[in-house]
Amino acid sequence: RLRTAAAPSAVAELACEICAAQSAAAVSELPGAAAAVEPLRAIRLFPPGGLYLAILFLLTDVGLDLCTITAMIGQQEVWWAGLIAGALLTSTMSEVVGHRFKTLALEVMESVRVGVLARGLQAIRDQEASSEALISLFISSYALPWTMKSPLWAAVCVLSVLFSACTLSEFMHEVIDLRGSIELADEEAKGGAEMQHQLGTKAADCLTVVTVGGVVLSD
């Protein structure tokens, strides 16, 4: 007669602790605190002040884009100004179609409450930081020699280049490096779950009691 006994709770708890330790170790190795809340990425600069700083950067970047458009039109470079204006209008229309402007105030209040950017606000920031920042970086760099004739416009154009480069680099870090690290952590967590399953199976096998002719055989 074959009889299998249930594994004691202590063995199951030990397996869970091993899996949890492996998952915690994998998460602790990720760069920055933002990994714990992806895709609602954490604000790394003095929360909650970092939230206001991120919104200020977003508004400043848009303002610098408008100044760059004005400077390009003043230099009769309408085609280049149209590229930045087209990218800005495309982003604005996508936000209007997505009805994100209607809930913008609620998104900001929710972001302040939880300490991270809400999904709608994060989508606006990602849109500004991806294609718009890339186009603005190229065109602002291209326009630098012309704007040097005026100290004011030269300062505006240099700030536009710096803001675009900073925004684009941070976005690339979050999208490529951070998400890649999270995917690696997910794979390690799956490996820990498989180890937990194997450990539970071995524990159950060890507790299998075989009775043959009244003699108890046990591993």
* Ordered strands of the 215-218 beta sheet: 2-4, 208-212, 215-218
60, with CB counted inside 10 A (0-12, 13-18, 19+), is: middle
Distance CA 148, CA 100 (A): 38
Question: pTM of the predicted model, to two decimals?
Answer: 0.50
Phi first, then psi, for residue 117 (nearest 5°) are: -65, 130
Distance CA 190, CA 55 (A): 36
pLDDT in tens, 76-97: 778 878 888 887 787 777 766 6
Residue 34 pLDDT level (bands cut at 50, 70, 90): very low
Q: Which residues pair with 209 in a beta bridge?
A: 3, 218
Distance CA 142, CA 187 (A): 43
pLDDT in tens, 145-165: 776 777 777 788 788 888 888
pLDDT in tens, 129-140: 777 778 878 877
Mean pLDDT in residue range 205-219: 47
